[in-house]
Structure 1
């Protein structure tokens, strides 16, 4: 994880330098610089700094991965990479019910929000409990 921490650290340093420069460049009016862009850059700086600290903290506490060691061989990275779920229709149904609810809120059709919420609860339950029943049960 050290490589990832260094990448985010470089992004943080870049944003620390760019944010005040952006503020100064957009200072065209008497009211100061562009508040929207400067705020967005400042928040992005904070987010990348947070990810940098998280990755750096965990990189120190965990054993180095094969990618982090200079003397590692390609074969050191062999083996199981993790669990990859099979196909699933439940994310589609969750997205459809959410889109129905958002559409209903935009049209102020509260009855459709309730129907979408009930169907969304069913779809979300199916997504959460997908591996407890059916073809992919564990």
Structure 2
């Protein structure tokens, strides 16, 4: 098993243990003389966090099986073994900044709860995301 999946499985075990302790503690410990009961917000949050880390661990486990040995899993690896091209990042693209503006506009619409701002922000975000993704995939017209 690879290191990333082990980390996620370890986090899952930790979250399950913390959920059990939290549920037990809120059921049996009472500070103010009230009838003790489960505090549902924290319990649900811990159980869902355990489920999410388990799903991520399973995904990483299945994808790492298909990949060759990674430098982080090789005990004799050097820092330079991980070096190389990480991806293509367009230095002159305006679309990441435009997407940030669209997200900001949509966020202001949600904060102030103006339906027109939410609709325009969602449309702008959809447009800018599409333009970013198709930036190099669509052939240019010849003039």
The match for 1:5 is 5
- Verify the 8 A CA contact 1:66 1:76 in the aligned structure 2: no
Q: Can you list the C-alpha shifts for 1:76-111, whole angstroms capped at 9, x where unaligned?
A: 82652321403333122122223324434535352x
Q: Distance in 2 between matches of 1:51 and 1:104?
A: 32
- Deviation at 1:32? 1.8
In structure 2, the residue matched to 1:30 is: 35
Query: In structure 1, what is the equivalent of residue 141 of structure 2?
Result: none
- Using the alignment, how far apart are the partners of 1:120 and 1:57 within structure 2? 32
Contact map agreement 2:9 2:57 (CA 8 A) in 1? yes
Determine whether 1:81 maps to 2:85: yes
CA distance in 2, matches of 1:121, 1:60: 35
| Equivalent-residue separation in structure 2 for 1:54 and 1:114 (angstroms) | 34
Shift of residue 41, structure 1, vs aligned partner: 0.3
Q: CA deviation at 1:36?
A: 0.4
Stretches of structure 2 that go unaligned for 5 or more consecutive residues are 139-143
Cα offset, 1:44, TM superposition: 0.3
Q: Does the C-alpha gap of structure 1 residues 16 and 122 become closer, same or farther in structure 2, counting only changes over 3 Å?
A: closer
Number of matched residues?
131
Counterpart Cα distance in 1 of 2:123 and 2:2? 45
Q: Given that residues 100 and 116 in structure 1 are in contact (C-alpha distance below 8 angstroms), is that contact kept between their aligned partners in structure 2? A: yes
RMSD over aligned Cα, in angstroms? 2.9
Q: 1:100 to 1:74 in 2, by over 3 A?
A: closer
* Residue range with higher mean Cα deviation, 41-50 or 25-34: 25-34
TM-score normalised by structure 2 residue count = 0.70
